[in-house]
Structure formats: C-alpha cells, structure tokens
Amino acid sequence: MRENKTLQILDAAHAGGYAVPGMCCYNMESIIATVRAAEAAQSPAMILLFPWAIEYGGSVLVKAAAEAARTATVPISVHLDHAQTPEMVKRAADIPNGFDSIMCDMSHYEKEENLRLTKELVTYCHERGIAAEAEPGRIEGGEDGVSATTDLGPLLTSPEEARTFVETGIEMLAPAFGNVHGNYGPRGIQLEYDRLEAINREVGKEVRLVLHGADPFTEEIFQKCIKAGVTKININKGMNNHYERIQNEMKGKPLTQVIEAGTEAMQKGIEEYMRMMGSASRAQK
C-alpha cells in the first residue's frame, strides 16, 4: 500500500499539519474544477464520487476522474465516498485503474455487523491495492447521492470504538463527534472537540482521520479539527452550490458558457478551501 496515492497524499498532510480537501463531484465540471484549483493553488486534492456515479453511468465518470487525476501536475487521488453495500464496494473495487480508496460505509448496520462487514471489505480492497475508510458510530444526516440514515439517528464515536475499527485494517477513519451531513439546523454547529482529540490520541498515529459534514465550517473550525488530527475534509455544497448559482444566473445563455462559468466559480471556491485548510502550496508531485 506504500504506492497508494490517497495514502501518500494524506500521510504528507499528517506530517505537514494541514488537511486535504475531498471534493464531492457529480459531473465533469466539478472534476475539472478540482484539478484546475489544485494546480492553480499547488495543492494536493482528492476527487470524491458517490455510488450514484456508478449507478448512473457505470465506470464512465470513474475513469474520467482517474484520467484527470493521473494527468494532473499535482497529487490528486480518486475516492469513492459512502459505499453503503458490500456489493457496491466490490463493484467499485473491481473497476480497473479506477479508485485509489473507498469508504466502506456500513454504519447503518449494528456495531458488530458493521465491524464484520468492514473487515471483509477492507480485505477485498487491499487485495486490489485500494485503501479503505470506515465510519465507527454514525454521522447524522444525509447528502445528495447517498442513502440517508437520518431515521437511524447519530451514534457518536468513542476512542474505544475507533480502536476496534482500526483493527479491521482500515487506513482512514471518519469519526462522529457532532458533525452532520447536510444542514445543521437550528442548533447550529456543536462539535465535541474533546472527543475528536481523544480519538486522535488513541488511533491518530495509525490511521488518518476524516471530517465529514464540513460545508458550513469556518477557517477557525477547520484549523481546530486539523490540530486534533484531521487530514481529509470532505466538501460538497461548498463547491456545488457555486455551480447551481451560475446555472440560475445564466439561465438561457449558451450551454458552453454556463459550463465554463460554472467550472470557474467552483474552482475559485475550491481554492479558498485549500487556503483555509493549509494545503495550498503543499503539492509534491
């Protein structure tokens, strides 16, 4: 796994004290925007796809993302986020020269079944040179392209639970510490930094910590999470809302102009995240 691109990117972030943005991409525009932002900012990056991309287009978008990452002038990897069934994990892992890493998200199962399935799927991924992420506990909410687990409710991650998941062989761990997929609602952002710090003390030297539900976070929140061990931060609406805005503003204009303007708007948004996370100027191809 030493040659795995995702692990190289995140290990460098861990050593350098910064985080890398994982951009949730739904189309070619967002993939291109991520690559252009990374090259302009001289930042490493990760292109994140959801299972929806495979359900919708088979391996087409995966291969396009992999080609964009491979030909970039800065380190970029391709990651499948929230693969929520064993069948999807295996289908994704079997795409030749596709994903560098896969989130084996079995968090909608009870703890013991989550552990059992995660261990099985991590082995499957490793046999194909693919790094694996898992979610101990359960992060509240849902997002476009992912089956919602809102009805199941959140389960916060403990350091002890994190330890049991590290033993499955994962390289990335996504803790639940008050973070929410999607809208934080009336209560606002209420993160348990003490919990995150305790998890980092327990397993942070062995796995890379991943932050989900970070779209509305400020630079101050990002930096607190990075200091507590986070090296990968997933961003969805913080990029894609720029594209939606351009589509609304340019309704009726030639499609190519809308696509180009939308890509540029997303790129600028991504570059700002790279600045806030400290990954700008950290690229080491």
Give the CB-side neighbour count of residue 113, counting CA atoms within 13 A. 8
SS3 label, residue 97: coil
Cα separation of 150 and 136, whole Å?
Answer: 16
**Of 11, 81, 100, 151, which residue is the catalytic one?**
81
SS3 string, 160-204, reads HHHHHHHCCCCCEECCCCCCEECCCCCCCCCCCHHHHHHHHHHHC
Give the DSSP H/E element, type plus range, for residue 18. Answer: none
The radius of gyration of the chain from alpha carbons, rounded to an integer in Å, stands at 17
Note if 144 is an active site residue.
Answer: no
Answer for the pair 73, 79: CB distance below 8 angstroms, yes or no.
Answer: no
- CB-based contacts of 242, cutoff 8 Å, min separation 6: 262, 265, 266, 268, 269
> What residues act catalytically?
81
